[in-house]
Amino acid sequence: MAKKLKVGVAGANGYAGMTAVHLLARHPGVELTQLTSRSYAGKPYAEVFPLLELEGAFSSEPSLDGLDVVFSCLPHNVGAAKVESWLAAGVRVIDMSADFRLHDAEQYPKWYRRQHPAPSLLGKAVLGLPELHEADLKDAQVIAVPGCYSTAAILALAPAVSAGLVGSDIVVDAKSGVSGAGRSPGMGVHFSEVNESVGAYAVEGHRHLPEIVQELSALGGPEQGSLGLTFVPHLAPMTRGILATCYFDLKGSAGELEEAYREFYSGQPFTRIVDKTPTTKLAAHSNLCLVNVGAQGKKAVVTAALDNLIKGASGQGVECFNIACGFDRTTALLGAVQWP
């Protein structure tokens, strides 16, 4: 058997970190050597992962000695300051935060309320969306996994934009499960606040909006002009899942639109065109993004469903890891992750 890569997960006790650990623990090419958590430092791994046979205790910071890859599941603006030292030590970085998703450092103060801590590294980062950037991921040293809403919206719209079939501004109406807000407790995710209730938020502009515009604008080409897109997220009373319904005026026929999608995603292992509008439960606990292409008269209606913690976060991170490190793209991603 080939030598296993030594992998660490920084911030392993949050939802993204926990999901990454569950996936990497069953990866045949991975030796999980370090899990870090400031709140669990010194405590055994079993306190967070009772069903995984992991020996050892959490440390507060990763030791880079002998490490091949770090999955950084730290909060926004926390991991970015550490990436330069990780790269200098020869460690490849899979970043699950928003720190390296946007190409333009001037966007960060607007959306994240502070200057970017490592703007010189933005040019080295590759957005971790394999359906669009597989070739670039093979040599990437910094991989910035996109947001859950971003992944759903981009995959729902990329074929139409690429084929020039969008004839108007785009509206994206998206719903997320509560785990998308992270594991830290707060009034906005309190059971009594979200149960039996659905509501919109960030109507003035969500931080995933610039990711969506950035990626779709790159596909559209200059002949299509600037991309107009309105994105409104909603919090739904479910643990996990993203459902994005996208509307735009259709150039051409509904048949041409569907053909563009089937051609664009031909051979893709995790993005599937389905005949009926997908539900979040169909994609839950998997690395799948399910896309339905429809129309209401001349208005295209494209719906995408995925699991926000897997294809919308750590599953996609492992998918990118597989591409970058020479494994089969589906390795460790074909079985369900049950918790949360």
Catalytic annotation, residues: 148
**In this structure, which amino acid lies at residue 335?**
G
Q: Which residue is it, tokens 């995710």?
A: 189
Tokens of 257: 């639109």
Tokens of 330: 């589906």
Tokens of 22: 């569950």
State the Cα–Cα distance between residues 258 and 117, nearest whole angstrom.
42
Long-range pairs for 256-262 at CB < 8 Å and ≥24 separation?
256/163, 256/165, 257/160, 257/163, 257/165, 257/293, 257/295, 257/300, 258/293, 260/159, 260/160, 260/162, 260/163, 260/165, 261/159, 261/160, 261/291, 261/293, 261/302
Residue 199: its H or E element: strand 199-200
State the Cα–Cα distance between residues 107 and 202, nearest whole angstrom.
17
State the Cα–Cα distance between residues 298 and 22, nearest whole angstrom.
44
